[in-house]
Each structure stands twice: as structure tokens, then as C-alpha cells.
């Protein structure tokens, strides 16, 4: 037998999503109002409100409930409440504070916002979807103007992001939700550029190193394959090495084993190797040397990220450099446009990267 509260929850869910109670940001009824209208107990009505809140369809501020079925307009009661502040605050959610790419990107984003009199609040989720939802609620209570998400959209956080009333811009992560913009590095073009560079540097056999959590969506890999095809070369599946991300030790072992495979199976010298990031390239460099090959004479090696370590190894690594400032400026521009027009279709902005050529791909 279906509980009365479950039946009422389903009824109100459908009504809210159909716009029968108004748009996102409009006031919703009270618990007592539901009890009176549906002739149910206050306990039953409270259960319904709790369920709707869990589904991100309503949001409580003090004794008032607001509809949160998506971005809210400034003219709505919730929109006016959020604008009723002298603060100009933006939130950011990161998976980890240890990621060097996001650390550098946050420094540039903060610089861009501070120059405009804005404040940036950074929070880390550890990759936990429930924590990400809690952080979103905190940013809402702080009356942030908008939120930059540097975490992927997944089954755990998708509903909360879809129904969030504040503007959201995905930064260095892909958006799969309408009215959620994304500002990304153009990884595909970077892969094409590396393929052309390795070919021009004299490479005749090619390999790519990626991560297991990334391989299915790796645009750097797709671009690399496309660039090689343009140059008359191919990248067989066996020439793609996959690193485990379950532990640093396992990942290091994967690179060691793949380096041995390259040495045994490569058909022509010099070999061109493109790694998904600089840390993998540094590890590959170590094992290539152990097997008696030289860089750049026998192996041309390219990394990605332009981390400080890329200049600390010998030979110094050729690597793809991010245009951090351009990413930050574009993210700020897109966010302010989204605040002005919260219901416009989403946009996808890509920022090109640049290839920093060093001794690891030097032409003999």
C-alpha cells in the first residue's frame, strides 16, 4: 500500500516540474498550508516537504520555502533574496587541493575576480558527491552570485546541479546539462599539435600514455590519433598504455611495464611518446634510460601541464602549457553573462594551449 506522503510527494513533484506552482525561485506553500489544502496531518506534510527538499525541488530559508527546479531569475522572491547583499562572492568546488593544475588555475581566477572587487571562496569535496551537494547548499546560504565547478557531473550530483538556483560554470570540466556552461582547455587540438611536432622531430613509431579513469573521454588521445593520421601514421591499440589510478605504486609499475613493451616491440627509431601529463612523462623518462635508450636521440618524449618538474629533469621535457590567465578570464566572462541571462542555452568555450618545446624532442 502506498503511503499518503509518498502519493502527495509524487503529485507535488509533477506539479512543480510542470510549473504549476510558478518558476524556480518563486515562493512555495508552507507545511501547514499543505496540511490544510490536502487534509493531511502536519507529520505527513512535513514528510512530503522533506522528500521534496531531498530531491532539490524546494529550498528552505528560515520559515519560507522556495521552488528550486533550476536557475532562478532576479525578479523572483529567491532571486531578490540572493541579491539582497553587499557582498560579491563566488564559490568554487574542487575535487582536491593537491592538483597542481587546479591550484594554479585558482590563483589566476582569484586574481581576475579580485581585480573586479569580487571574492572567491574555494572548497574541496574529495570527489564525494554528497559533500559537493552540501557545499552547493553552503554557497547558496552565503548568497554567492554563482559557482564554478571543477568536479565532473555524475549520477550522485547531477540532480542537485540541474536544479540549483544559482548560475553554474563548469571550469576545466565538461558540462552535460543545459544552462550549465563549460570553459575548457582545447585538449583535442593539443593532441593534434603534439602529433605533428613529434612527426616533424623525426619520430617514426608512436605511443601514448593515459590513465584508466580518463581513457574513454581522453580528447588528447583522440586529437593525437587524428594528427598522426593526417601525417600518414597510425596508433594501434597496443601502442596505448593505460596507467592505473588506484595507487601511485600500481601506476608506476604500469609505466615501467609499458616502457619495456616499447623497447621490445618498437619497429623504428626514433620513437615518439606522448604522455597525458608531465608526471607520467618523468616516470617514462626514467625507465627509458634504464633500458639504454637516449632522449631525444632514440625517443622523443612529450608531457602535458608544464609543471615545474618538467624543467628539473634531464633532458628538460617538451610539454603542453595551459593558458591559465585566458581560462580564468573566459570563466569570469561566461559567469557574468550567465548571471545576466540565467535561462539561455549553455555555451562551450575552449581555450587553446601552447606547446613548449625543450630538449626531450630536440631534432638530432
Residue 345: per-residue pLDDT? 87
pLDDT tens digits, 175-188: 999 889 999 999 99
The answer to whether 102 and 94 have CB atoms below 8 angstroms apart is yes
Residue 267: per-residue pLDDT? 80
Question: Taking 80 as the threshold, does the pLDDT of residue 210 lie above it?
Answer: yes
DSSP character string of 8-27: HHHHHHHHHHTTTT-STTSB
C-alpha span between 327 and 335 (Å, rounded): 12
* Strands in the chain per DSSP E: 58-61, 64-67, 89-94, 119-124, 146-150, 168-171, 181-185, 205-211, 240-243, 271-275, 299-304, 318-321, 348-351, 354-356
HSE of 135, CA atoms in CB hemisphere, 13 A: 26
Mean pLDDT over 43-47 rounds to 96
Residues present in the chain in total: 364
Residue 101: per-residue pLDDT? 85
Cα 140 to Cα 1, 149, 151, 175, 189: the distances in Å are: 38, 14, 18, 20, 37
% of the chain with per-residue pLDDT over 70: 100
Could you say which architecture CATH assigns to the domain 82-186+326-352? Answer: 3-Layer(aba) Sandwich (3.40)
Three-state DSSP state, 356: strand
C-alpha span between 318 and 302 (Å, rounded): 5
- pLDDT grade for 200, boundaries at 50, 70 and 90: very high
pLDDT tens digits, 288-330: 999 999 999 999 999 999 989 999 999 999 999 999 999 999 9
Residue 178: per-residue pLDDT? 87
Residue 327: per-residue pLDDT? 96
Q: What is the mean pLDDT of the chain?
A: 94
pLDDT tens digits, 4-42: 999 999 999 999 999 999 999 999 999 999 999 999 999
- pLDDT grade for 344, boundaries at 50, 70 and 90: confident
User: Would 82-186+326-352 and 187-322+355-361 be classified into the same CATH topology?
Assistant: yes
Is the Cα dihedral 209, 100, 351, 332 positive or negative? positive
Nearest to 213 by CA among 254, 269, 260: 254
- pLDDT grade for 214, boundaries at 50, 70 and 90: confident
pLDDT tens digits, 249-284: 778 899 999 999 998 888 888 999 999 999 999 999
CA 81 to chain centre: 29
C-alpha span between 57 and 13 (Å, rounded): 8
CATH code assigned to 4-78? 1.10.10.10
Task: Decide if domain 187-322+355-361 falls under CATH 3.40.50.2300.
Answer: yes
C-alpha span between 299 and 203 (Å, rounded): 8
- pLDDT grade for 108, boundaries at 50, 70 and 90: very high
Question: Taking 70 as the threshold, does the pLDDT of residue 364 lie above it?
Answer: no
Residue 68: per-residue pLDDT? 96
C-alpha span between 66 and 68 (Å, rounded): 6
Q: What global pTM score does this model have?
A: 0.85
- Return the domain boundaries, the chain: 4-78, 82-186+326-352, 187-322+355-361
Residue 247: per-residue pLDDT? 72
Amino acid at each position: 500500500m502506498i503511503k499518503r506522503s509518498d502519493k502527495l510527494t509524487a503529485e507535488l513533484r509533477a506539479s512543480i516540474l510542470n510549473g504549476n506552482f510558478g518558476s524556480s525561485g518563486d515562493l512555495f506553500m508552507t507545511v501547514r498550508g499543505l496540511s490544510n489544502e490536502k487534509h493531511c496531518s502536519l507529520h505527513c506534510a512535513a514528510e512530503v516537504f522533506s522528500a521534496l527538499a531531498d530531491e532539490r525541488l524546494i529550498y528552505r530559508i528560515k520559515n519560507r520555502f522556495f521552488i528550486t527546479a533550476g536557475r532562478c531569475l532576479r525578479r523572483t522572491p529567491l532571486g531578490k533574496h540572493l541579491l539582497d547583499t553587499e557582498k560579491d562572492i563566488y564559490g568554487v568546488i574542487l575535487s582536491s587541493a593537491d592538483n597542481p593544475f587546479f591550484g594554479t588555475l585558482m590563483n589566476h581566477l582569484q586574481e581576475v575576480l579580485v581585480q573586479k572587487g569580487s571574492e572567491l571562496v574555494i572548497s574541496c569535496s574529495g570527489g564525494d558527491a554528497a559533500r559537493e551537494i552540501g557545499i552547493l547548499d553552503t554557497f547558496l546560504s552565503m548568497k554567492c552570485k554563482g559557482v564554478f565547478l571543477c568536479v565532473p557531473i555524475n549520477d550522485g550530483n547531477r540532480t542537485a546541479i540541474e536544479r540549483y538556483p544559482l548560475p553554474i560554470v563548469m571550469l576545466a570540466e565538461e558540462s552535460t546539462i543545459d544552462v550549465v556552461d563549460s570553459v575548457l582547455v582545447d585538449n583535442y587540438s593539443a593532441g593534434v599539435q603534439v602529433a605533428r611536432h613529434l612527426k616533424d622531430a623525426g619520430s617514426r613509431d608512436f605511443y601514448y600514455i593515459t590513465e584508466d579513469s580518463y581513457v574513454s573521454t581522453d580528447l588528447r588521445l583522440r586529437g593525437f590519433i587524428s594528427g598522426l593520421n593526417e601525417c600518414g601514421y597510425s596508433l594501434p591499440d597496443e601502442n596505448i598504455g593505460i596507467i592505473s589510478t588506484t595507487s601511485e605504486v600500481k601506476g608506476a609499475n604500469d609505466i615501467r611495464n609499458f616502457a619495456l613493451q616499447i623497447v621490445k616491440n618498437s619497429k623504428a627509431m626514433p620513437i615518439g611518446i606522448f604522455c597525458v601529463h608531465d608526471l607520467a612523462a618523468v616516470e617514462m623518462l626514467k625507465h627509458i634510460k634504464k633500458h639504454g635508450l637516449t632522449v631525444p636521440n632514440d625517443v622523443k618524449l612529450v608531457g602535458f601541464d608544464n609543471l615545474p618538474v618538467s624543467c628539473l629533469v634531464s633532458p628538460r621535457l617538451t610539454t603542453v602549457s595551459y593558458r591559465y590567465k585566458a581560462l580564468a578570464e573566459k570563466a569570469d566572462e561566461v559567469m557574468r553573462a550567465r548571471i545576466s541571462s540565467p535561462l539561455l542555452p549553455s555555451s562551450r568555450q575552449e581555450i587553446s594551449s601552447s606547446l613548449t618545446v625543450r630538449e626531450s624532442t630536440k631534432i638530432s
